[in-house]
A and B are shown apart, each in its own frame.
Chain A
């Protein structure tokens, strides 16, 4: 999956580089909390471990073999922030010391293989762990699904980036189907080996598995005076403001929408193209919002095309953020009131 130079055009490479740098900045702060004062030595060690495990080829189907990406495995073992850092360092070292992966494509590589796989894998993992009943037995199962989902999602993210700024003329929908199909298989292998590895570590040193923290049975002290529960594991973390993360994300989204969108391919997307080829659109009614000020991704009445597309992109991001924020706020309020009702 290491993308070489010349695969993506310059704007996409730059945008992905900015995104990767922002993500790394966030993770550098987060990793300090996951590894205490041992960040650099232990993260370096985990990076070397991932590098070694990536060489562990496993048989997928008759004759073909795959190798681990390791994002989800690292996230479950040492925590998501450290995992992103470690996989990114592995990619940097591979790029600079082994000439694997282009230097201008480093941003794309880090975005896809470190950030997307880890974030997706960890999110799925946490969702399953939270939904399932308390207990450690759910951890390998959740790790399986996290890893199995993360690989095809990363391949689809690659396809999406390629659609925006790839340098080759291929039909996006067919690429998405092929990439997705192949990577569903690879993802199953990744999920299986991740789950088995996590369960074998869990059997010997459960305290080393970050994803299983808080899932062990509480320690009970039985004394003549009665049974008391002793809190084990790390103290609850102080609540941190998510504002820097949100601000960074918003900045990246606005830059992507406002600047990069202009360079995006102006040819019709897969669905539109198929529709045009097959004559499906002859009966197409004009869109009821076709006259709206944002129709066709351009602001009406703005002379410069670049400015118009950019403005439309920024406005689109704004609307999405507002709508998403409103939904999130509503859901959160409901969750909190439900908690209060329980208490």
Chain B
């Protein structure tokens, strides 16, 4: 579910995909996800083409398949749900390997599995080839609310600090023989969370004062403008356009 984000996905490199301006990549991946969701589920070959497109991007970005596969575990809870769908689904039943499964449920499971997997792989590729800070610069260039982008920027900067603080507190707890096993241990964890909040908040106030004394006026200075040329856009648009052509073909064929 939400856990297990300890390691960030970024994978340094200097390929065509890495060099593309972040705003182009953000838009390309978002459009690709929309096109994938809009592809009819009966068109198996279209999903094959989508996979092929992502494989080409991964190859150009030199992201090894094992890297992508390992990062796909995030999807697991919903895979379990999708596998359960044919069993609990309604509608006409079909016999598969001696089990009575819902035909509509099988379709739905395939639909969710295929689209969710493609979405996750696209997001993994985006995160692996784009530095988090650059991604937020891209979001700012895409005219997202500046306050929202700034909050995300500060969150990224504070995240490792707070996670380290939490790790130190966990080590301190465990070195005193603590192991959270059942409900009686909740107060300890809650007091840790409370202490973490107070420590982080006080640290944040100190940092804010330090920022003010160094001339912070409410917006972060932009050092690197990073506009995108027409060529960058043309390259980035290749992925969603190819996917759109595939989807359009599958619409007209069905």
Contacts and interface: CB of A to CB of B under 8 A. Distances in A.
A208 B155 contact: no
B155 A51 contact: yes
B5 interface: yes
B5 A42 contact: no
Interface string B135-179: 100000000010110111111111101110110000000000000
A44 B152 contact: yes
Give the size range of B's interface with the partner.
35 or more
A43 interface: yes
Interface in B194-215: 194-198, 200-201, 203-205, 207-208, 211
A107 to B, nearest CB: 12
Closest 7 CB pairs of A and B: A44-B154, A6-B115, A196-B190, A5-B119, A200-B194, A4-B116, A168-B108
Contacts of B204: 41-42, 45
A97 to B, nearest CB: 5
Contacts of B208: 38, 41-42
B182 interface: yes
A200 B193 CA distance: 9
Contacts of A38: 208
Contact of A93 (B38, B90, B156): B156
Nearest to A175: B88
Given A5-B36, A200-B190, 5 more contacts: A5-B120, A6-B37, A48-B162, A51-B5, A195-B190
A181 interface: no
A197 B211 CA distance: 29
B158 A99 contact: no
Interface string A52-68: 11111111100000011
Given A6-B37, A99-B120, A169-B108, A40 B74 contact: no
A53 B38 CA distance: 35
A240 B158 CA distance: 33
**Quick one: which of B1, B153, B165 has the most chain A CB within 10 A?**
B1
Interface in A74-129: 77, 85-86, 88-90, 92-100, 102-104
Interface stretch (B58-66, B123-131, B227-235): B123-131
Nearest to B89: A169
Contacts of B200: 45, 48-49
A47 interface: yes
Interface residues of A, number: 74
Contact of B201 (A6, A45, A60, A93): A45
B119 A102 contact: yes
A173 B66 CA distance: 41
A189 B185 CA distance: 12
Interface of A: 1-7, 10, 13, 24-25, 28, 31, 37-49, 51-60, 67-68, 77, 85-86, 88-90, 92-100, 102-104, 167-171, 189, 192-193, 195-201, 204-205, 208
A311 to B, nearest CB: 27
Given A41-B154, A54-B2, A58-B186, A196 B102 contact: no
Interface of B: 1-5, 8-9, 26, 29-30, 33-34, 36-38, 71, 74-75, 78, 85, 88-91, 102, 104-105, 108-109, 111-116, 118-120, 122-124, 126-127, 132, 135, 145, 147-148, 150-159, 161-163, 165-166, 180-183, 185-187, 189-198, 200-201, 203-205, 207-208, 211, 218
Contact of B112 (A94, A97, A167): A167
Given A5-B33, A6-B119, A86-B151, A57 B3 contact: yes
27 contacts: A4-B119, A4-B120, A28-B147, A39-B151, A40-B150, A43-B151, A45-B200, A45-B204, A47-B151, A48-B162, A51-B155, A51-B159, A52-B166, A57-B180, A58-B180, A59-B183, A67-B1, A67-B2, A77-B197, A92-B148, A93-B156, A94-B5, A96-B135, A99-B123, A169-B102, A197-B197, A201-B197
A45 B111 CA distance: 38
A55 B166 contact: yes
Contacts of A52: 159, 162-163, 165-166, 196
Contacts of B135: 96-97
A59 B15 CA distance: 45
A88 B144 CA distance: 14
A48 B158 contact: yes
Contacts of A49: 162, 196-197, 200-201
Contact of A39 (B74, B89, B147): B147
